[in-house]
Amino acid sequence: MEHEVRNVTATYNVWWYNIMIKALNITFEYIRRDENENVIEIITALDGVDLNVKKGQFISVVGHNGSGKSTLAKHINALLVPGEGTVHVKGMDTKDESNILDIRQSVGMIFQNPDNQIVAGVVEEDVAFGPENMGVPSKELRKRVDESLKTVGMYEYKDSSPDRLSGGQKQLVAIAGVLAMKPECIILDEATAMLDPGGRKDVLEAVKKLNREENITVILITHHMEETIDSDIIFVMKNGRIVLSGTPAEVYKKSDIIRECGLEVPQAVHIAEGLRKRGLRLPEDILTMDELSEAVRTAYNKQT
């Protein structure tokens, strides 16, 4: 009997070893009630969503406003639990209260508005806030704060007031604050939406570096399609469902579905489509402007 139990545990461990997130058929409803607690509206925000994310992957989630992206993100961080279905983070069921601290430490969230995420009057204190609350001892805390600020390129601002920083710099500080908690996964919920193009680029670069160099799993929720081009997998959401998923080349080939979801394809994909319609023979997997110009040059040389 004991032998059998041990076997079950071993299988379980192998099952989640390489898996960061496994959401199975999750459904979530927001229920609005009037002052007498009568239900006045039920909004199905998630409707049978499956999501598999392996450790170290860079995932993008795109979808029109109201498609359920933030609701999904909150499920991964155990801020919400599914009405139906299950979410496991590193094999831990988000419905099990005893897992919540561990899950929140493993999955850090960055939200849209940089100003709502700053809690202290000095940058380094802000970064220290999370890990300090986790009970990280002071020497280790110092080390983590310095390292995190260096990683996002904000170390020289450690004594500054966050008020003096740009939106992009505030988001980098927020990312450092999450990093100081040593997460394995970071979710950015439209964290670049309020930034200017420079700030957006800085934040995206920082996140890509974390993924590449620290093997941190990244879930990037965004409206800017250009940001998704280097993802391992893109998930496209519509009305609480994932309607399309795959590598960027696979997903952007189905530009008609993307447009039905109220989204745009990346610029290079759009231009390549137009050129193909005019008879230029271009490969199917063009995603960036560099790839496009190279392909156009090759196609042109072949034609002449």
Ligand X SMILES: Nc1ncnc2c1ncn2[C@@H]1O[C@H](COP(=O)(O)OP(=O)(O)O)[C@@H](O)[C@H]1O
CB of 99 to ligand X, least distance (A): 23
CB of 290 to Mg ion, least distance (A): 31
- Residue closer to ligand X (CB basis): 65 or 304: 65
Under rule CB under 5 A, how many of the chain's residues touch Mg ion? 2
Query: Binding Mg ion by CB under 5 A: which of 57, 60, 67, 70?
Result: 70
CB of 112 to ligand X, least distance (A): 9
Query: Binding ligand X by CB under 6 A: which of 10, 43, 101, 119?
Result: 43
Beta bridge partners of 135: none
- Residue closer to ligand X (CB basis): 32 or 259: 32
Query: Binding ligand X by CB under 6 A: which of 11, 18, 65, 301?
Result: 65
Verify binding: residue 66, ligand X, rule CB under 6 A: yes
Give, in degrees to the nearest 5, the angle at Cα 81 between 76 and 86.
Answer: 75
CB of 273 to Mg ion, least distance (A): 28
Verify binding: residue 15, ligand X, rule CB under 6 A: no
Work out what residue 43 binds among Mg ion, ligand X, none; the CB cut-off runs from 5 to 8 Å by kind.
ligand X
Verify binding: residue 71, ligand X, rule CB under 6 A: yes
Give, in degrees to the nearest 5, the angle at Cα 22 between 194 and 213.
Answer: 60
- Residue closer to ligand X (CB basis): 63 or 131: 63
Residue range at the interface with Mg ion (CB under 5 A); choices 2-10, 69-77, 146-154, 180-188: 69-77
Verify binding: residue 68, ligand X, rule CB under 6 A: yes
Work out what residue 30 binds among Mg ion, ligand X, none; the CB cut-off runs from 5 to 8 Å by kind.
ligand X
Verify binding: residue 180, ligand X, rule CB under 6 A: no
Residue range at the interface with ligand X (CB under 6 A); choices 59-67, 90-98, 200-208, 286-294: 59-67
Cα 215 to chain center, whole Å?
A: 14
- Residue closer to ligand X (CB basis): 12 or 30: 30
50, 33 contact by CB (below 8 A): no
Residues that bind Mg ion (CB under 5 A): 69-70
Residues that bind ligand X (CB under 6 A): 30, 32, 43, 45, 63, 65-71
